[in-house]
Structure 1
Amino acid sequence: MTTLRFSVDNMSCAGCAGRAERALAAAPGVAEASVNIANHMAQVTGDASPDILRAALKTAGYPAREAKHRLSISGMTCASCTGRVERALEALPGVLSAHVNLATQTAEIRTLDGAITTETLAQTVTDAGYPAKPAKDDAPTEPQSEVDPLRRDTVIAGALTLPVFLTEMGGHLYPPLHHAVMGSMGMQTFWVLQFLLITLVLVWPGRRFFRIGLPLLFKGSPDMNSLVALGSLAAWSYSTIATFLPMLLPDGTRAVYFEAAGVIVTLILAGRWMEARAKGRTGAAIRHLISLRPDTVLLSRNGTFTEAPLTDVAVGDVIKVLPGGRIAVDGAVVEGDSFVDESMITGEPVPVAKAKDDTVTGGTINGRKALVYRATAVGSNTVLARIIDMVQTAQGAKLPIQALADKVVRIFVPVVLGIAALTVVLWLAFGPQPSLGYALVAGVAVLIIACPCAMGLATPTSIMVGTGRAAELGVLFRKGDALQRLDNAKVVAFDKTGTLTEGRPTLVDQHCVPGADPTEMLRVAAALEQGSDHPIARAILSAAPADLPNVTDSETIPGYGLIASVNGQSTLVGSERHLIEQGVETGPLQDAITRFADKGHTLVCLAINKQAAAVFAVADQIKPSAKPVIDALHAAGLKVAMISGDNPAAANAIARQLGIDHVTAGVRPDGKVDAIKALRDTVGAVAFVGDGINDAPALAEADIGLAIGTGTDVAIEAADIVLSSGRVSGVVNAVDVSKQTMRNIRQNLFWAFAYNTALIPVAAGVLYPAFGIMLSPMLGAGAMALSSVFVLSNALRLRKIAPVQADAPNSTYHEAPA
């Protein structure tokens, strides 16, 4: 039994603590439980899992607080390493989940708050054989730190191995070279020299394989390092016995394979060096985001601006940014005007005009004039910091598609060891003489060729590059698994107002009776509406000239319109029903009224002296980019739906213009949730795009929620993907990134699985009986290293994803050449 202490939320009195305590005590596996209202801490003794405790408290209404920890880990080289680290972490009391990313060399751990420290987590991973330390919150872990040591070790191993390789293999290819070496120093001296050089390779640059791999082998949990250590050690040991104790070997089997041991270590080190360099490039996008923060700022102190570290800035401080300078933190302009390049945040290339009271975002670049602004958010509360956190969270995610790889890798290394042992036995029993030599070559080749490095890198590297490139295009995947869920979507549903439309009514058409001046009629209607703050009234007013006639004796008829005197004439403005109830014959306007109503427009009718004069059509305008976006989604094979609270006539009119497949109109926020469920039942997985508070339930209900970045915080928090550009065209970029990234992952996984599946039998010697072909352990080492490099190189192609042109008429969806 273990004792666990952790924090509990929502308690305000002793009664709350008592209910929480009883809920914990009743949970399966709990022997004793107590809750302290003073420090909001619970203490539980027993063998109940953290998930059971969390569920019990959640049901009681007092949720357990959760904490997130991040570790930087070194020494992980394959998928079996990450699985071992995850299992070590998940076995700790208080740990809810652990996700380890091979590409970033990091671990994300969720725990019950207060149950365990980050230092304890790091020590556990270190004890498992992989040195770990708490990671900094404001920067990603850089696999680039491995580059220099690996380059050094590769060069040393290569320098020591090259003379052995050239003389040994060169002697086979060019017999005179062999005779010259034997004649100058003799075979025994030559072998002793090889022994010295290759032993240096193993104990110096190759020691990393033995330091990690052999202890894990003895613990019964071998990894890739174990395979390399076994393979190189087997070749070295056999060769050492042949050199110094030949009497222990059967006649005809004396031979050395020192060059194989040295080349195996050298090639695998070279492969890891190339991997480390490629991993460094996979994190280029997030490193670019972090570099957007300047180190110093011009801070106002006692009326003068002086240079100060960024860390000194607090909310409310006044900062000056010079022309061409980078804005340090989020703020509001207090002095000056300029244009600001916000492309690194929104993905939009056109600079945005900024003047007094406008907001500015940290990380953006000022134009040609100085700006003075007041800090409104600093540190982790800035937009840039939140973007970095979203990208890091997405990059550390584990997709459902990776589950298959994890299951295979968990048993892969033990199975390979078994195949290698069986290979040796079969060659000893049925192989040609000297069978021991053949058995050694085949067994070592199996060990080396089967290292599952590529399997471990296949998914995380693609996620890193894909989500990083998406961030540069203004698409933020808040949850990494949204990549796969968006790729599985069958229909994209849009909220109408503010998403497909501008979100504000405007005057779109008008009709006047014969003889009436359209401009004058508009002036009269606007004069009557100028006292109202209704959006329809604002639309009429904003379209009219500035010089409006005087209005007297105004009387409002709630829900219908108003009556007033304009230039001494009795004037009515409002709905058609308002005119009819006041005794006005609307026949002269009927054709226009019908035509506008069929288009879903809102109607404002005008009558003067009891005679119908004009009808105005007001509508929420469609965004220019909406039609190209929907065309692009159709071209990508997706259905498009629209869910709106607007009246069915207006919604259907917009749907007809845009070519939308499914329309649900006149629904309240909870009705949007039902509409999404209906779409899911009839079409399939639903991606929903919205921006308002009323969209939050629908964003949460959808299989994938995409929030327009300029929308409300509530909507953004409920979404899986945030379109930081604030433009609906970001939906197409999100779909494009998702499809290309998932295709890239499938390519990587196919290569990794097919490669190992195909080459293990070749390494074991299955081609030898028919063709006399055996795979050299040296070739196996080179091929294994290249498989990982291939996977990384394939993932890096995602950096070239181009933004989909869906903002111009007649544009079409396309996948940019990777």
Structure 2
Amino acid sequence: MNLSLEKATVEGNTDPERLIDAVKATGYGVKFIDPREKDATESLSLKTEQKINTARQKIVFAWGLTIPAMIWMLVEMVFGFAWPTEDIFHFGMIIISSVVLFLPGKETMKSAWLSSIHRNPNMDVLIAMGSLAALSTGVLGFYFHLHSFAGIAGMIMAFHLTGRFIEARARGRSSEAIRKLMSLEAKQAMVADGSGVETKTDVRDLKIGQTMIVRAGEKIPTDGLVVNGSSAVDESMVTGESLPVNKSQGDEVIGGTISTDGTLKVEVTRVGKETFLSQVIKMVETAQNTKVPIQVFSDKIVSVFVPIILVFAVLTFSVWLVFPNTMKFTAEIFSPWIPWLNLSLSPTGLALFSGIAVLVIACPCALGLATPTALMVGSGLGAENGILIRDGGAIQRMKEVSTIMFDKTGTLTEGRPEVIKTKLTDKYSEDELLQFAASVEQESTHPLACAIVRFAEKKNIVLTSAQGVKVVPGKGVRASVGGREIKVGNSGFVSADNKEKANRTSVYISVDNTVSGVIEFEDREKKDSATAIKKLKQRGIHCVMLTGDRSEIAETFAESFGIAEVHAEVLPGEKAGIISRYQDRGEIVAMVGDGINDAPALTQADVGIALGTGTDIAMESGDIVLVKGDLAGVVRAAVLAEATFKKIKQNLFWAFIYNVVAIPLAFLGLLHPVIAEGAMALSSINVMWNSNRLRKTHLS
């Protein structure tokens, strides 16, 4: 359930119609959005615009009646007489306020009624009871000697509707990031058939394998692989990359990005809900629907807030009625500074005045919005900068992180090692050994395996099929090639006597249990790794490197990165154990890895940060996914988490302070009910405004 998004996700086999009926019975409006519908996201955006327009119409209608009533009341107050007669004046106030309450305020009154009969009173109950109490004084005033507050009933509702309108607009700004992402989606695509004939088609009808033609200045309709042409592609709105990225044959492209200066032929690889943009939107919405730990406390308060205020309003009325002189004496102290304080009213009038103020001043809404609105803006800001937050709770945990552990290959380095040297130790030639090794590794996606295969292909070596391939994680792979038993892996795996200390990553090859060669690799450091590590250390975060490489290689890399602590020769399954030991010492640990080989470690860490590659961002193990795959994203994520959590704390502070200060003032009779309602609306608006200020944060 997310109050800010006004959206709930329900898992189960319950019939949607039964769910809709159950929600309507509690007083809430509801619409079922089937995620399988092609226009589901568009309809949600349209619903937001419709809600803002409806709220605008309501306040125009409400104030159109209330402002003349206010002028009428001022004439009565200034000149001391009710025009044309006192009875007509009071009757007019009752009619005007009734129209405002039950026409533009109809949904508020209905929500209050339904939530009351279901014993789950919401904030609308406070507004409705305060308005009706004020209205009832006008009716009772015809029969008893009672001051009429009927005129302020309409004002209370008008202020309430104004607050709702401003909130709706603020919500729209808060979810702007999602709308921007949705607006990137192209509507049509130019598709070429086998004979080269081009046909314009709806993007929703695209199928995997089709070829799209994308010309300069056009959006790339969906995710794909460039099969011909080259162009600089603007990915700024998707990845946060400010400069266009050159794309040519063999490169992946993202749907919604723009080809700036060339024509591309792109083969469709993903459609519908599987595209990069759809995954991003889903991640952002998922993050916004989760709750951070600090929200649990405020939710507990909100759940009992309305019943407590109802009891307190009755208590206020009773105290003023039973001890009018004592309460008047207290109020008189402040009377020189409070122009609306009218202590000449009867005890019943003062009791009603104060009780109504207590009802309408209390604002559980501000408490309920404090966390989700900040989380909504923060996750949206992250998405615009290539930081996808899968779990909203990661915001709070990331802010508390004391240690960050980094995998080396593909995280601190480019993750695309190249063969730079081969050593022969037996009777086989270099080409023969490369044929054995590449044939065994040709189906693997491991970076070193891919490097061996690329090197063999560059030398035009023909690969043969490998039989009985068996992978030993963290060690190597064995198979049979041409009747020979081949092992490719580390020295321990192939039983090599590794006496020399190499400063490069090496893979050993054994043929029929005899070590026959060594392949050495070099992997370049990512250009921003050292800078990112330096900035994290400046923030007081301890940086550690975890790697399966030998100690001498790992320490050489770590020194260049500025990392003092290294755990080398660690198997993938052992990384989680190392993280656990740090956690046992009280450390809050984040793990940065590729999201695949490091899945257990990412899961064990308090915050798992997965580096995205190309269009593949669907890492299930990462709490945070960095689209660009650069370590500067880790720094940006830390800044974002700190800024977002700061806003959450500010929102909760002001929401609590508002209620702590305002409710006692209303109890003492120092707040006019209309001013109280205006202040209540402003408290929620303040939360929304403060959250939206987060968009000005510079993550760099």
Q: TM-score range by the shorter chain?
A: 0.7 to 0.9
User: Structure 1, residues 328-386: CA drift from partner, whole Å, max 9, x if none?
Assistant: 11112222221211222221122222222322221111122221212111111111111
* Aligned positions of 1:642-653 closer than 5 A: 642-653=545-556
Provide closer, same or farther for how the CA distance between residues 255 and 341 of structure 1 changes in structure 2, counting only shifts above 3 A.
same
C-alpha distance in 2, partners of 1:146/1:296? 29
Partner of residue 311, structure 1: 204
Opposite residue 410 of structure 1, the aligned amino acid is S
User: Partner amino acid for 1:747?
Assistant: Q
1:397 aligns with 2:290: yes
Q: Alignment partner of 1:109: what SS?
A: coil
1:155 equivalent to 2:54? Answer no
One-letter code aligned to 2:148: V
CA offsets per residue over residues 778-799 of structure 1, 9 Å max, x none? 1100000000000000111122
Alpha carbons 1:691, 1:715 under 8 Å: kept: no
1:166-181 to structure 2, matched below 5 A, reads 166-169=71-74, 171-172=76-77, 175=78, 178-179=79-80
Structure 2 match to 1:495: 407
CA–CA distance in structure 2, aligned partners of residues 715 and 299 of structure 1: 27
Give CA-to-partner distance per residue, 1:203-230, whole Å, 9 cap, x none.
2112222211023223432211111110
The aligned amino acid for 2:7 is T
Q: State the SS of the aligned residue for 2:598.
A: helix
Supply the distance in 2 between the matched residues of 1:381 and 1:625 (Cα, whole angstroms). 30
CA deviations on 1:89-115 (whole Å, 9 max, x unpaired) are xxxxxxxxxxx111111101122xxx3
In the alignment, which residue of structure 1 is the partner of 2:10? 109
Q: CA deviation at 1:481?
A: 1.8
Relative to structure 1, the CA distance from residue 224 to residue 539 in structure 2 (aligned partners, 3 Å threshold; closer, same or farther) is: closer
Does the 8 Å CA contact 1:696/1:714 hold for their aligned counterparts? no
Structure 2 counterpart of 1:139, one-letter code: T
Partner of 1:438: 350
Structure 1 residue 260, shift from structure 2 partner: 1.7
User: Aligned AA for 1:764?
Assistant: F
The aligned residue for residue 123 of structure 2 is 224
1:43-122 aligned at under 5 Å gives the runs: 100-111=1-12, 115-122=13-20
> In the alignment, what sits opposite 1:415?
308
Give the residue type in structure 2 aligned to 1:307.
Answer: K
Q: Are 1:673 and 2:549 an aligned pair?
A: no
Specify the alignment match of 1:778 in structure 2.
674
Q: Which residue of 2 aligns with 1:623?
A: 526
Partner in structure 2 of residue 189 of structure 1: 88
Amino acid at match of 1:124: A
Assess, with a 3 A threshold, how the Cα gap between structure 1 residues 446 and 714 changes in structure 2: closer, same or farther.
Answer: closer
> Relative to 1, partners in 2 of residues 1:442 and 1:539: Cα closer, same or farther, differing over 3 Å?
closer
- Equivalent of residue 634 in structure 1, options 533, 537, 546: 537
- Are the equivalent residues in 2 in contact too, given 1:144–1:276 (CA < 8 A)? no
Q: Is the 8 A contact 2:403 2:541 kept in 1?
A: yes
Give the alignment partner of residue 108 of structure 2, picking from 204, 209, 213. 209
Q: Aligned AA for 1:157? A: A
1:763 maps to 2:632? no
1 CA distance for matches of 2:618 and 2:179? 28
Q: Does 1:139 align with 2:32?
A: no
Instruction: Find the aligned partners of 2:251 and 2:526 in 1 and give their Cα distance.
Output: 23
Match of 2:620 among 684, 702, 717: 717
In structure 2, how many angstroms separate the alpha carbons of the residues matched to 1:418 and 1:639? 52
Q: Is the 8 A contact 2:223 2:254 kept in 1?
A: yes
Q: Distance in 2 between matches of 1:691 and 1:699?
A: 9
Q: Does 1:479 align with 2:384?
A: no
Q: Distance in 2 between matches of 1:226 and 1:732?
A: 45
* Bigger mean CA deviation after superposition, 162-171 or 673-682: 162-171
Whether the 8 Å CA contact 1:333–1:360 is kept in 2: the answer is yes
Distance 1:216 1:692, change over 3 A: closer
Shift of the 799–273 alpha-carbon distance from structure 1 to 2, 3 Å rule, reads same
Contact 2:279–2:617 (CA under 8 A) maintained in structure 1: no
C-alpha distance in 2, partners of 1:380/1:711?
Answer: 17
Aligned counterparts of 1:333 and 1:507: Cα–Cα separation in 2: 27
| Whole-angstrom distance in 2 between the partners of 1:171 and 1:722 | 64
* CA deviations over 1:686-709 (Å, ceiling 9, x no partner): 110011632111111111111110
Find the counterpart in structure 1 of residue 260 from structure 2.
367
Indicate how the Cα distance of structure 1 residues 326 and 286 shifts in structure 2: closer, same or farther if over 3 A, else same. same
Partner SS, residue 621 of structure 1 = coil
- SS of 1:139's partner is helix
Residues 669 and 431 of structure 1, relative CA distance in 2, 3 Å threshold: same
Is the CA contact (8 Å cut-off) linking 1:502 and 1:622 kept in structure 2?
Answer: yes
The 1:233–1:328 alpha-carbon spacing in structure 2 relative to 1, beyond 3 Å, is: same
CA-based RMSD of the aligned residues comes to: 3.1
Q: Distance in 2 between matches of 1:348 and 1:189?
A: 68
User: What is the aligned counterpart of 1:333 among 226, 251, 255?
Assistant: 226
* Deviation string, structure 1 residues 115-165 (Cα, Å, up to 9, x no partner): 312332222211222121211424173434321111111111111111222
User: Structure 1: which amino acid aligns with 2:251?
Assistant: D
Give the Cα–Cα distance (whole angstroms) in 1 for the partners of residues 231 and 190 of structure 2. 17
Deviation, structure 1 residue 413: 0.4
Q: How far did 1:531 drift?
A: 6.9
Q: How far apart are residue 603 of structure 1 and its match?
A: 9.3
Amino acid at match of 2:398: L
Q: 1:658 to 1:703 in 2, by over 3 A?
A: same
2:32 partner letter = P
Residues 589-631 of structure 1, C-alpha deviations (whole Å, 9 max, x = no match): xxxx99xx6xx44699xxxxxxxxxxx9975332220111111
**2:246 corresponds to which residue?**
353
The range that moved more, 260-269 or 299-308, is 299-308
Measured after TM superposition, the shift of residue 656 of structure 1 is 2.5
Q: TM-score, normalised by structure 1?
A: 0.70
Letter in structure 2 aligned against 1:794: N
Deviates more, 1:496-505 or 1:449-458: 496-505
- Looking at structure 2, the residues matched to 300 and 217 of structure 1 have their Cα atoms a distance apart, in angstroms, of 61
For 1:712 and 1:498, the matched residues in 2 are separated by 16
Letter in 1 for 2:2: N
CA distance in 1, matches of 2:561, 2:555: 10
The 2-side partners of 1:715 and 1:278 are apart by 30
Cα deviation, 1:668-695, whole Å, max 9, x if unaligned, reads 0111111111222235111100116321
Which deviates more from structure 2 when the two are superposed, residues 732-741 or residues 683-692? 683-692
1:532 and 1:538 in contact (8 A); partners too: no
Contact 2:595–2:622 at 8 Å: present in 1 too? no
CA contact (8 A) 1:530 1:537 kept: no
1:719-773 Cα offsets, whole Å, 9 max, x none, are 11111112121111111111111111111111112211221111111xx6xxxxx
Q: Secondary structure at the match of 1:222?
A: coil
| Aligned-pair CA distance for 1:506 | 6.6
Q: Which has the higher strand share?
A: 1
Q: CA deviation at 1:303?
A: 3.4
Q: How many residues align?
A: 607
Q: CA, structure 1 residues 800+532, in 2 after alignment: closer, same or farther (shift >3 Å)?
A: farther
Q: Relative contact order (C-alpha < 8 Å, sep 6+): which is higher? A: 2
Residue 38 of structure 1 aligns with which residue?
Answer: none
**1: CA distance between counterparts of 2:210 and 2:20?**
38
Which is worse superposed, 711-720 or 266-275? Answer: 711-720
Moved more, 710-719 or 121-130: 710-719
Distance change in 2, residues 1:355/1:531 (3 Å): farther
Contact 1:506 1:621 in 2 (8 A): no
Aligned to 2:691: 795
1:561-596 deviation line (CA, Å, top 9, x unaligned): xxxxxxxxxxxxxx9xxxxx9xxxx9xxxxxx99xx
User: How does the TM-score come out when normalised to structure 2?
Assistant: 0.81
Q: Sort the Cα spacing of 1:374 and 1:603 in 2 relative to 1 into closer, same or farther, 3 A.
A: closer
Q: Cα–Cα, structure 1 residues 289 and 136, in superposed 2: closer, same or farther, change >3 Å?
A: farther
Q: Secondary structure at the match of 1:374?
A: strand
